[in-house]
Amino acid sequence: MEPLTFFFHKLQMLFRRGRFTEEFAEEMAFHREQVERELREEGMSPDDAQYTALRRIGNETQLREQAHDLLRFRAEGIFHDLQYAFRQLRKNPAHTATVIMILALGIGATTAIFSAVNPILFQPLPYPLAGQIVMIWERHSDGSPWFVNFGTFHGIEERTGSFEAVAALKPWQPTMVGAARPERFEGQRVSAGYFRVLGASPVLGRDFVPADDLHNGPRVVVLSDEVWRRCFARDPSIIGQSMKLDGDLFTVIGVMPAGFENVLAPTAELWAPLQYDPALPTDSREWGHHLRMVGRLRPAITREQATAELDAILHTVGQLYAKGYNESGGTPAGTQLNSLHSEMTHDVRPALLAVLGAVGLVLLIACVNVTNLLLARSVQRHGEFAIRVALGASRIRLTRQLLTESLVLALIGGALGLIVARLGVHALLALVPPGLPRMNAIAVDGAVYTFALGMTAIVGIAVGLVPAVQSNNCHFNRALHQSARVIGGRHHALRRTLVVAEVALALVLLVSAGLLLRSLQRLFSVDPGFDASHLLTMQVQESGHYYDSDANRLLFFKNAREAVQAVPGVIAADFTGQLPLSGDYDVYGVQFESNPTGEEGGFRYAVTPDYIQTMRIPLRRGRLLGERDTIGAPTAVLISESLARRKFGDRDPTGTRVRLGPDVGHSDRPWATIVGVVGNVRQQSLALAPEDAFYVPITQWPWADEVLSLVVRTQGDAAALAPSIRDAIWSVDKDQPVVRVATMESLLAVSEAKRRFTLIVLEAFALVGLVLAATGIYGILSGSVAERTREIGIRSALGASQRAILGLVLRQGMMLAAIGIVIGLIGAALASRALVTLLFGISCVDPLTYLGVVTLLLAVAAIACWLPASRAARIDPAITLRAE
């Protein structure tokens, strides 16, 4: 019962505080009167009695405080600290605003980056037991992973016991014809187990069943929520209805939920069964290595166990279907299993970690800067602290007060930081490289709020601790007698250390940004192998059964090309099977007559004859393709310089013969003739060395592609011609989709988007770091100049020249910068190693970058030093000394 009474009494007192003070005063007054009376009765004079009574009772305020302390709730102390903190912060609005702004930027930037990085790197994929999902690759004898073919997938699916489900998948881009414009969807062809592997199921209708995934089976489709909304207005009776895709009627059997995230193909909007032939006829698409494979491991089965089992299965299957494998590159050595999460994040991990590291440095610089500002402020407040200690405040109480103040600052900074973070996330989303996994999961959510709060607390304590400890080490008795500037000295040692730290951290950031900048410059000075200016590109696709015949396909592309060439402003237009730097990846085998047992691989460009001229790819030897290289004529091939050099050295390969793609290894197939050698073209990325390639007329390839890319060389602005070129194609057949319209220059830029993204973020952070470091130097120097006004006045009165005084202050500041730079160089050398995978063409200790950054930092430091130094030099000794 007692604690309860205690609590109620306290509670009562909380609301009767005013009355308590009055009553206490009255009680004391009564007591004093009684004592006075007693003293007078003992024979003292009234005045003496009054005085003695006062002395006996002592400090009434302290007495009341003591009584108060007993009655007070612990939380009330915090409340008072808060009140006091707010009063302090209001007292010096400029200081408060600066600190809050720096903290808001630091916390905001860190939170924004965290919210982008968290779902990608740290959170599990959005599937139940996502850790069980793995990607399965064929492993070749040289250890490199390969896409699986249907033979491998089918063999594994029939035999494996390690997986709850496995699935094969490939991209599918069906076109829906009907409305004014044809709409091409991004979709996937998947085997029946796909959604079970992911652990997702339709919200409407049903999942695929094995009976859907039969060769020549029923045409069924599962829709994404987005397609259901966009094309069917969320019609609840959609199940069982049909939609016409590529000229065929597909029955809708299911709709995936809105929250379903398809990390394997984030843009996919519909899914249809794979429907490959389990009879596995040799020499068919079933044997092409073009499928991706995923599987969900059974609980308690490790990746190693599963790999061992799959390797054994592959061995059996390899023997069973030796012919099929031999005609498609041989039986793989085994399988390789990677967790789906690492597969998804592997590419972007270095860039994201670099950005995360950079923002960590920015936060660190911001904290150092704020600590410095708080330290400066606490030196000014020493008088106040001394008085509070003299009045009986304990040191713990003072520490608590200072920490409360810094926490309040951090909390306001953190709250504003969340606004900064929201803006930052918007900016990041506009910047992120395409292909960043889980982009739609990037949001300022609960995890982010928790992170921001945690960070705010840590920052609040971190920046408050140094000034608090520092104040406690101070001798307040002395402080009471002296002015702030005399005790400043010791604090300056600490503040100088902090400025050195800031410079060092800024240098690390600047070097990282500098290295990336130089890499990107190098990359963009790489010759892609063709002329990218005034070049418009787009993908043209044929859809519908009319185009089932090769002749009709070729005719359409021929007519479309002619129509585009007739558009005013078009210099030339040609089709190609794949477009450089667009993400296309189309590799086929090449068998040279000179070495019939060896097989090479090369990028296959099935092109209309003038493609090489239109792209302005240089001809090195022989002749280009021409109109005569067409159906009926012997197949003519151009090979890339790299392939020619590797196979023929300095000899001329023209006139020698090769078998290409499906003909490789088939002695009954005719040979094609190499008619020329052309320059290397960067197909995948500017950073990847030129890869082997061959060019063949579309009319001479064994089949006609249904998707080709159009490249258009224009006179003026390439982008401006896009609408008229599209209309020209639709004038031939209005139902054929035209997609992926982009200028070659933008494709070039996008192909390096990952580096560019990292660069922009790092540059921004480096700039912030530089500014903060400069203000740090400026702050400490102007502080020290203000405090040394008298000394400087005496110096100049004694004959020191303005130049000497300028030098004095400059030296002091530049010394700090120099020490910071030396430490920062060591840090940068270590940090830049983490950037290695993002660098191109330069070493991570690129001297030019380091030199440039050091120069920049010195220049900025010099400006930051110059302002206070010139103020010092202008000090008039007469005025200073008179002021004393």
| Interface residue list for other proteins (CB under 8 A) | 2, 5-6, 9-10, 23-24, 26-28, 30-31, 33-35, 37, 56-58, 62-63, 66-67, 70-71
Measured CA to CA, the distance from residue 516 to residue 244 in angstroms comes to: 48
Q: Which residues lie across from 538 on neighbouring strands?
A: 710
For the CB of residue 117, give the shortest distance to other proteins in the complex, in Å.
54
Closest CA to 175 of 163, 184, 166: 184
For the CB of residue 17, give the shortest distance to other proteins in the complex, in Å.
13
User: Angle between the 847-873 and 802-831 helix axes, to the nearest 10 degrees?
Assistant: 150
Kindly tell me which of 18 and 632 has the beta carbon lying closer to other proteins.
Answer: 18
Q: Give 547-550 contacts, CB < 8 A, sequence gap 24+.
A: 547/706, 550/703, 550/704
For the CB of residue 71, give the shortest distance to other proteins in the complex, in Å.
7
For the CB of residue 503, give the shortest distance to other proteins in the complex, in Å.
55
**Residues in CB range of 90: below 8 A, 6 or more apart:** 96
Question: What's the one-letter identity of residue 515?
Answer: L
Measured CA to CA, the distance from residue 520 to residue 512 in angstroms comes to: 12
Q: Which residues lie across from 539 on neighbouring strands?
A: 709, 739
Closest CA to 256 of 208, 185, 193: 208
3-state secondary structure (DSSP) of residue 341: helix
Question: What's the one-letter identity of residue 255?
Answer: V
For the CB of residue 59, give the shortest distance to other proteins in the complex, in Å.
8
Copy the structure tokens of residue 435: 């292909």
For the CB of residue 25, give the shortest distance to other proteins in the complex, in Å.
11
Kindly tell me which of 64 and 657 has the beta carbon lying closer to other proteins.
Answer: 64
Measured CA to CA, the distance from residue 173 to residue 557 in angstroms comes to: 18
Kindly tell me which of 1 and 883 has the beta carbon lying closer to other proteins.
Answer: 1
Give backbone dihedrals phi and psi of 839, rounded to 5 degrees, phi first: -85, 155
Kindly tell me which of 9 and 490 has the beta carbon lying closer to other proteins.
Answer: 9
For the CB of residue 26, give the shortest distance to other proteins in the complex, in Å.
7
Kindly tell me which of 71 and 427 has the beta carbon lying closer to other proteins.
Answer: 71
Kindly tell me which of 29 and 878 has the beta carbon lying closer to other proteins.
Answer: 29
Q: Is 125 left (phi over 0), alpha (psi -120 to 50) or beta?
A: beta
Kindly tell me which of 58 and 799 has the beta carbon lying closer to other proteins.
Answer: 58
- Residue pair 275/214 in contact by the 8 Å Cβ criterion: yes
For the CB of residue 422, give the shortest distance to other proteins in the complex, in Å.
49
For the CB of residue 391, give the shortest distance to other proteins in the complex, in Å.
17
Kindly tell me which of 42 and 668 has the beta carbon lying closer to other proteins.
Answer: 42
Kindly tell me which of 33 and 627 has the beta carbon lying closer to other proteins.
Answer: 33
For the purposes of burial, counting CB atoms within 10 Å of the CB of 259, is it exposed (0-12), middle (13-18) or buried (19 or more)? exposed
**What Cα–Cα distance (Å) separates residue 252 from each residue in 236, 249, 624?**
12, 10, 49
Kindly tell me which of 34 and 801 has the beta carbon lying closer to other proteins.
Answer: 34
Kindly tell me which of 42 and 142 has the beta carbon lying closer to other proteins.
Answer: 42
For the CB of residue 506, give the shortest distance to other proteins in the complex, in Å.
55
For the CB of residue 500, give the shortest distance to other proteins in the complex, in Å.
51
For the purposes of burial, counting CB atoms within 10 Å of the CB of 526, is it exposed (0-12), middle (13-18) or buried (19 or more)? middle
Measured CA to CA, the distance from residue 461 to residue 214 in angstroms comes to: 64
* Cα dihedral 662/663/664/669 (nearest 10): 160
Kindly tell me which of 10 and 395 has the beta carbon lying closer to other proteins.
Answer: 10
Measured CA to CA, the distance from residue 773 to residue 829 in angstroms comes to: 20
* Cα dihedral 399/401/406/408 (nearest 10): 150
H-helix segments, 338-444: 340-345, 349-380, 382-390, 395-431
For the CB of residue 879, give the shortest distance to other proteins in the complex, in Å.
52
Kindly tell me which of 33 and 562 has the beta carbon lying closer to other proteins.
Answer: 33
For the CB of residue 428, give the shortest distance to other proteins in the complex, in Å.
57
CA-based end-to-end distance of the chain: 66
Question: What's the one-letter identity of residue 662?
Answer: P
For the CB of residue 27, give the shortest distance to other proteins in the complex, in Å.
5
Task: Kindly state the DSSP code that residue 863 receives in the 8-state scheme.
Answer: H
Kindly tell me which of 22 and 235 has the beta carbon lying closer to other proteins.
Answer: 22
**Residues in CB range of 73: below 8 A, 6 or more apart:** 10, 14
Buried b (16+ CB within 10 A) or exposed e, 453-466: bebbeebbebbbbb
